[in-house]
Structure 1
Amino acid sequence: MIKAVFFDLYETLITEWDGNQKKAVYSTDELGLDSKIFKAEWDNRRELRMNGTYPDHQSVLKDILNSHGKSSDRDMIEKVHQKRIWAKTVPFQEMHPEVIELLATLKEKGKKLGLISNCAPEEVSSWSRSKLADYFDAVVFSYEEKVAKPSPEIYHIASKKLGVTPEEAIFIGDGGSNELVGASEAGLKAYHATWFLPETISKKINGFPKLNHPLELLDQVELAHH
């Protein structure tokens, strides 16, 4: 019996993309680092950004600048920080109507809803003000829990928050961070959300039932009862 449904956030409930372009792009030119160098440094720190090692976005920027022997001017860092906050707010402003309908229907059916997101603080600064927040009974942000997907621990923390066993829950995500494998290893049934993904990326993930539209999940929840 499925009592709870856990969702990933980016590219599952909301998307940063419009076709093959990001909805919101910002530059980090103020930092005085070549953009390719900055991106490489940024990507290298992904795990530490997600698991809360860095307390905030500003401290990541300072660390990158320090590693290149550059001084970190507070105003300059704040400018880049505000641009990132803006870019991460944009995906929350436009909701896929079917996603909202799915959440509302699951709630009507008495399912508990949980969110499990690998994120840093600035990426979810708009969460509490978004339409989505009202539907969720428990929210697990990796930076707060100091553990990130695909570690089974984060799924167990989420299950405990909702008072269900992993076997009583399902997880839906776009598959980033190897999250479907992690969910499966933690004991949850995992589904691959492909509605925001280009086919080329969607094809790379196999071994999990694919959902091409949000409302397709409802049939799966019903089937899981029988």
Structure 2
Amino acid sequence: MRAVVFDFFGTLTDPGVEAGRRGAAAVTAAALGVPADPFWQVMRETFTERITGVHGDTRGMLRMIAERCGTEPTAAQLDAAVEAHHAGAVPLWRPRPGALDVLAGLRARGLRLGVLSDCGAELCQGWPSTVYAPYIDATVFSWQEGARKPDPRLYATAARRLGVAAAECWYVGDGGSREHQGALAAGMRPVLVTNAGYPGAARHRDDPDPFIPPITIEDLPELYALTVQGVDM
């Protein structure tokens, strides 16, 4: 095994911050001139569209949501809403405790590291400035690729960008978006992070995966044992 591909939200990020996602959306809705509850409902209904770039960048996405809520936003409202949306996304990127140390430790062991995330334009645009970027060798973002997990092509792309075979990759995630099924279909070895120390985190996952991989860990530091002991952990 030569590489580890990570899910982002709820895996590298602090699962505890996911509860704040709706509050951040309410701030964007206010800037856009749309009531918070309809805005949130359309956000949820258009998840796949938003994260695969159907509506373009953040501005185009917010215009679409406003129109579906029956509002025609002004240019100034769109400007303010884009700023609010990007500002509200940053706290959701907060690392889970110890995550950066784990990434540094795995790199020190010679492993290639990747991130495969279902995400919108804001993470794609903000990635270079995140605290994660120096540790990650390759990224695959659904918004840029026009596809979402569990599409096996995303996993194949991650392996290719890391310069390894899919069979040489662990895929580590918290189980949203049926991601482990996709990893297995692509030839990777899936690892479930149960987030047992974060009660309630699972209810914020999109499209939870009914497939439970044979290898499960409660938190990321357990990956050290996995990389030492190999696939027989």
What TM-score bracket applies, with the shorter chain setting the length?
Answer: 0.7 to 0.9
Change (3 A) 1:98 1:119: same
> Which residue does the alignment assign to 1:99?
99
TM superposition score normalised by structure 2:
0.85
Runs (4+) of structure 1 moved beyond 6 Å? Answer: none
2:76 aligns with 75
2:178–2:211 CA contact under 8 A, matched in 1: no
Q: Distance in 2 between matches of 1:14 and 1:67?
A: 31
Q: Identify the residue that residue 22 of structure 1 maps to in structure 2.
A: 20
Partners of 1:16 and 1:22 within 8 A in 2: no
Q: How many correspondences in the alignment?
A: 223
Q: 1:38-187 residue pairs with structure 2 within 5 A? A: 38-92=39-93, 94-187=94-187
> CA–CA distance in 1 between the matches of 2:9 and 2:123?
10
Structure-2 change in CA distance of 1:118 and 1:221 (3 Å): same
| Contact kept in structure 2, 1:89 and 1:125, CA below 8 Å | no
Aligned-partner residue type, residue 198 of structure 1? P
- TM-aligned CA distance change 1:15 to 1:42, over 3 Å: same
Give the Å deviation of 1:125: 3.6
Within 1, Cα distance between the matches of 2:135 and 2:201? 31
Residues 134 and 52 of structure 1, relative CA distance in 2, 3 Å threshold: same
Q: For residue 11 of structure 2, what is the aligned residue in structure 1?
A: 12
- Per mean C-alpha deviation after superposition, the further-off stretch among 141-150 and 187-196 is 187-196
| Partners of 2:180 and 2:211 within 8 A in 1 | no
Aligned to 2:216: 210
Q: Distance in 2 between matches of 1:139 and 1:86?
A: 22
- The Cα of 1:69 is off from its aligned counterpart by 4.3
- Farther-moved stretch of structure 1 (33-42 vs 172-181): 33-42
**How far apart are the structure 1 equivalents of 2:11 and 2:218?**
11
> Counterpart of 1:70 in 2: which secondary structure?
coil
| Alpha-carbon distance in 2 for matches of 1:62, 1:112 | 39
TM-score (norm 1): 0.87
Q: Is the 8 A contact 1:113 1:137 kept in 2?
A: yes
Amino acid at match of 2:191: Y
What is the CA-CA distance between 1:70 and the residue it aligns to? 2.6
The corresponding residue for 1:219 is 225
Identity of aligned residues (%): 26
Q: 2:100 is matched by which residue type in structure 1?
A: I
Q: How far 1:222 sits from its partner (Å)?
A: 2.0
Contact 2:192 2:212 in 1 (8 A): no
- 1:184 positional shift: 1.3
Q: CA deviation at 1:206?
A: 5.4
The question of whether the paired residues in 2 share the 8 Å contact of 1:150 and 1:183 is answered with yes
Higher helix share: 2
Of 8-17 and 181-190, deviating more is: 8-17
User: Cα distance, 1:200 vs. partner?
Assistant: 7.3
Go from structure 1 to structure 2 and tell me whether the alpha carbon gap of 1:71 and 1:97 turns closer, same or farther (over 3 Å shift). closer
For the Cα contact (< 8 Å) 2:38–2:69, is it kept in 1? Answer: no
Give the aligned residue type for 1:44.
E
The Cα of 1:149 is off from its aligned counterpart by 0.9
Alignment root-mean-square deviation, CA: 2.5
Aligned partners of 2:209, 2:153: CA distance in 1, in Å?
25
Shift in alpha-carbon separation, 1:183–1:197, aligned structure 2, 3 A = farther
